[in-house]
Amino acid sequence: MNYEQAMEYIHAVQWAGHKPGLTRTRTLLAALGDPHKQLRFVHVAGTNGKGSTAAMMASCLQAAGYRVGLYTSPFINRFNERIQINGVQIPDEELVKLVEQVKPAADAMEDVPTEFEIITALGMLYFAQQQCDIVVLEVGLGGTLDSTNVIEKPACAVITALGMDHVKELGPTLADIATAKAGIIKPGCPVVSYGGAPEADAVLRRVAAQQHAPFTEVDFAKLQITGGDLDAVTFSFDGLDGVRLPLIGSYQPRNAALAITALRVLRQQGWNIPESAIRTGLEQVSWPGRFELLRHSPAFVLDGSHNAHGMRATVQSLKDRFPGQKFVFQMNDAEKAATRALQDRNLTVAMAQEADLLVLDEAGSAWELDMVDKDLLRRAVLQRPAGQECVLTAHAAPQWMLDAADYSTEMKCHRHPYQKGIKARKGIEY
């Protein structure tokens, strides 16, 4: 088996059609000798910030002298990013060997494991074989039924910021989502929570109390951001002053505060993690694809935000790092197709309504950028019901729009506050 064949095997079985649960993962790991039972873990769940917080903790534990496994998902550039030891991605040849070990056990199972379950088994086996002192283990989805939740009692459970995501799988309310995340809380296991969402916080506190698990919530009143540029954000937190964090998203100091709090909880349990190691780990951490600056001039930022909570954080980071500047967001083909499909659905719904006036804002831009079905847009304008008026705005209207217009107005800017550096003001410009 070569690397490409190993990847093909890993990706062959998807989640669809499989009943959620831990049985398949437990069965597979048992066939492999239960490697996870040889390891100690920090278990990280949450909606946003899981990967960043996990990477920070792994970097600090490494700086403290431990051999640290890091298990994350998804990957940004290459699959091997998901399984690391002391910041080094699993080598291709090691991954192939592991797949050759796992495949016979998985193939022998009546209920075939999913992709994520196989990857989880690969990670557990690798970390055990490489004799890691501790593994920072990021949850894939939710918590209770996530494959990573086969571990029995982590050294610490960490729950990052919670928000609305994966509602189909986890439930329609923040309390439902918190309940799923709280599934990683084990009897007597310390819990460190980001907090800040009362509905979710109440759930986490209740579950922790039921499990007799010591509960700590980050005290963000002790966090002070003292500076920030395109290379680092400088902050102080609870006695740890002047830390230069190379992850420049405005939200990252809060993730760092969570990581620091969790590391101090680990220290209370006997782990040797001096403050100097925490500082070194934070100042040396690397986490690609999370508000990552790829180029200074012109600035090019790569960010993997995929839900409303994460996008708000990304936009705020853009405003903080690039005040007064305009932004261009680049979409891949799949994202463009999804946006176009949404535009088409909205236009179809608008056309089906009985209305005296149809307003199509930026219709020209949608036409120019191929972000709408052009035949559909033509019909909306040219074949609208008798008596219905239509208003269109366009940066550069196509000729057929101009030919169809009863009125055509061209606006030209002669003077604008923006030219003096005055940004748009709520209640005036928007």
| Tens of pLDDT, residues 296-314 | 777 777 877 766 667 777 7
pLDDT band at residue 16 using 50, 70 and 90 as cut-offs:
low
Strand runs labelled E in 196-259: 215-217, 223-228, 233-237, 240-245
Residue 410 has phi, psi (to 5 degrees) of: -110, 125
317 vs 103, higher pLDDT: 103
126 vs 344, higher pLDDT: 126
What pLDDT does 130 receive?
97
What pLDDT does 171 receive?
64
What pLDDT does 308 receive?
67
What pLDDT does 347 receive?
87
Q: What is the mean pLDDT of residues 219-225?
A: 96
Is residue 101 predicted with pLDDT exceeding 90? Answer: yes
Task: Please name which of 276, 255, 10, 252 lies closest in space to residue 122, comparing C-alpha atoms.
Answer: 10
96 vs 392, higher pLDDT: 96
pLDDT in tens, 352-367: 888 889 888 888 888 8
pLDDT band at residue 170 using 50, 70 and 90 as cut-offs:
low
Domains of the chain by start residue, with CATH:
3-292 (3.40.1190.10), 333-420 (3.40.50.300)
Q: Rounded to whole angstroms, how far apart are CA atoms 247 and 144?
A: 30
Mean pLDDT of the chain: 89
What pLDDT does 53 receive?
96
Question: Between 115-129 and 23-31, two packed helices, what is the crossing angle to 10 degrees?
Answer: 40
What pLDDT does 87 receive?
95
Q: What is the mean pLDDT of residues 140-154?
A: 90
For residues 362, 364, 369, 371, the Cα torsion angle rounded to the nearest 10 degrees is 60
Is residue 70 predicted with pLDDT exceeding 90? Answer: yes
What pLDDT does 168 receive?
57
pLDDT band at residue 429 using 50, 70 and 90 as cut-offs:
low
Is residue 281 predicted with pLDDT exceeding 90? Answer: yes
118 vs 417, higher pLDDT: 118
Most confident of 80-94, 216-230, 410-424: 80-94
Is residue 166 predicted with pLDDT exceeding 60? Answer: no
What pLDDT does 411 receive?
80
Q: What is the mean pLDDT of residues 333-357?
A: 87
Q: What is the mean pLDDT of residues 37-43?
A: 97
Q: Rounded to whole angstroms, how far apart are CA atoms 344 and 350?
A: 10
Q: What is the mean pLDDT of residues 206-231?
A: 94
pLDDT in tens, 112-123: 999 999 999 999
- % residues pLDDT > 90 (the chain): 52
pLDDT band at residue 86 using 50, 70 and 90 as cut-offs:
very high
DSSP for 377-404, written as a single string: HHHHHHTPPTT-EEEE--SS--HHHHHH
Tokens of 368: 């120019």
What pLDDT does 15 receive?
62
Q: What is the mean pLDDT of residues 400-406?
A: 83
Distances from the Cα of 423 to the Cα of 327, 414, 420, angstroms: 14, 17, 9
Distances from the Cα of 82 to the Cα of 36, 79, 149, 350, angstroms: 17, 6, 17, 44
What pLDDT does 306 receive?
61
- % residues pLDDT > 70 (the chain): 93
Which residues, 6+ apart, have CB-to-CB distance to 310 below 8 Å? 48, 163
